[in-house]
Amino acid sequence: MAVWAVGLAILGLLACWLGRRQRIVTSQGWWQWTTGEEVKEHSPRGKGNKQSLVGDCQWIFKPSALALALLKSLGKSPDLEAWQWCWKTWPYLQTATQLLWPPDHPLEFARDHLQVADNGLVALDWVIGPWGESGKGPSAAESTVLLVVPSATGKITRNICQLCQLALEKGYYPVIFNRHGHNGCPLTSARLQPFGDPSDLKEAVAYIRFRHPTAMLFAVSKGSGSGLLLSYLGECGSSCDLHGAACTSSLLKGQDWFEAGSPWLCEWALLLYQKRVISRYTEALRGVVEMERVLGSHSLQEFEEALFCGRKSQPMTWEAYWRCNEPLRDADDVAVPVLCVCSADDPVRGPSSRTLPWELFCTNPHFFLLLAPHGGHCGFLQKSSLPSAASWGNTVALEYLGVLAKFFQADEGMRERPRRRRSAILYQHGQGVRQNRETLPASLDSQESFSWQRSYTR
């Protein structure tokens, strides 16, 4: 434990050295000590978009009844208040605490192995503990299922453990998706999952729906896992089984992110971890990719290109790879609400002025952006002593999903009321009596009280 403490102290000092202290002014105060380029304008003006302040965070959205309901709910969240404390402005420290520090209580789970179309295996870890202060939670049959998609490294971080424990306390049934070869899942086929290939995730979601046919199903992704989740939502369109999704510290421009690179400290750490994971399968993969080139890569772009573009049987160019794996390639077909929780000082993603698709949040009613001035990458630590501080990003994500559930239930109730009224009138007056539409309230007849309508694109 002393080694971890020394490491965090060093990272804190590096944060002070690497961070370029800048001030970003907003209409109600200052966003202080933001790393990277100054974000002069967070979104284009005059195009029907809305921006609102929630504490010291910006809520960017296309106006709709759902967006306003979310704004009202998040505005009451104490975690989004504009508090200041000494290490809040250290993005590297927040990132290291949540990604490197071990969890207080390891997760207890029951694992299902699922054989997918390429005869490989993916693993679904159903989290069954540990419980919080209540000592127990609702049964699986009564719970809303929460699918957790880790980053492309597959690491079950402290942040993910905190998310699952908080979800258990709030009545969700969390399940973690593990790709080929991740977290003890056997690699039974010579294939790893590309950055934005949702084929395995589709089968996993279908299996979850089979096991819980009547439960609401939500998803939360972490970091680069957003590339997989958003690809799934775009490819499936209105036929996807999810009711909503939240992406924390999402990487929304995959190709640009790999080509621009991250600060040397972040890139070095991510590259070494992925090399360590892939080195276990050197002999199994040697027949399909040049493992010497993969393990000898000097950047994340070289690693990704050698592993997925340099296959001996089906080589492809870097540009062709991203035409099939860019997270937002089918963003127009996404048919469920998606919340992206990001920080302006994310050291892994890079400056928000060039790494976030502002136009998407301003024009697409399915996408919402909560942009915090501080939080690092998957950090968003609450005001508490280190390292026990929890992530307010997890709290906000679950609160958002709770609002979605209530909103959709109310929407379904509004749809059912005219049908129930019509059935009662027909029962009382006989089948031959014509329904008088003037007896129905206009709000129920036209359904204008809720502007949210799930799109049907496929």
How far apart are alpha carbons 316 and 255 in whole angstroms? 15
Q: Name which of 93, 107, 225, 82 is nearest 166 in CA terms.
A: 107
For residue 32, what pLDDT is reported? Answer: 38
Q: Are 292 and 306 in contact (CB under 8 A)?
A: no
Query: Could you confirm whether 377 is annotated as catalytic?
Result: yes
For residue 148, what pLDDT is reported? Answer: 98
Per-residue pLDDT of the chain (458 residues; tens, 9 = 90+): 444 444 544 444 444 444 443 333 333 333 333 333 333 344 444 445 567 888 889 999 999 889 988 998 888 888 787 677 777 888 999 999 888 888 888 899 999 999 999 899 999 999 998 875 555 555 544 579 999 999 999 999 999 999 999 999 999 999 999 999 999 999 998 888 999 999 999 999 999 999 999 999 999 999 999 999 999 999 999 999 999 999 999 999 999 999 999 999 899 999 999 999 999 999 999 989 999 999 999 999 999 999 999 888 889 999 999 999 999 999 999 999 999 999 999 999 999 989 999 999 999 999 999 999 999 999 999 887 776 788 999 999 999 999 999 888 876 656 555 544 444 433 344 444 333 333 333 333 333 333 444 443 33
Half-sphere exposure of 170 (CA within 13 A, CB side): 21
Half-sphere exposure of 171 (CA within 13 A, CB side): 9
Q: Name which of 269, 70, 59, 47 is nearest 157 in CA terms.
A: 269
Torsion of CA 419, 425, 427, 432, to 10 degrees: -110
For residue 136, what pLDDT is reported? Answer: 55
| DSSP assignments along 297-348, one per residue | -SSHHHHHIIIII--SSS---HHHHHHHH-TTTTGGG--S-EEEEEETT-TT
Question: Tokens 């010579």, residue?
Answer: 190
User: How many residues are listed for the chain in this entry?
Assistant: 458
Alpha-helical runs (H) found in 128-198: 158-169
Read off the pTM. 0.82
Neighbours of 22 (CB within 10 A): 16
Backbone angles phi, psi at 367, to 5 degrees: -110, 135
Pick the CATH number of 47-253+326-408 from 3.40.50.1820, 3.40.50.1580, 3.40.50.300, 2.70.50.60: 3.40.50.1820
Query: What three-state secondary structure class fits 418?
Result: helix
For residue 120, what pLDDT is reported? Answer: 92
Query: Could you confirm whether 104 is annotated as catalytic?
Result: no
How far apart are alpha carbons 174 and 167 in whole angstroms? 7
The pairing of strands 121-129 and 108-115 is antiparallel
How far apart are alpha carbons 26 and 38 in whole angstroms? 12
The pairing of strands 23-26 and 172-178 is unpaired
Catalytic residue among 79, 197, 346, 411: 346
Q: Where are the domains of the chain?
A: 47-253+326-408, 415-446
How far apart are alpha carbons 302 and 201 in whole angstroms? 25
Torsion of CA 311, 312, 316, 321, to 10 degrees: -10
Q: Are 59 and 72 in contact (CB under 8 A)?
A: no
Catalytic residue among 180, 212, 374, 377: 377
Q: Which residues contact 16 (CB under 8 A, 6 or more apart)?
A: 90
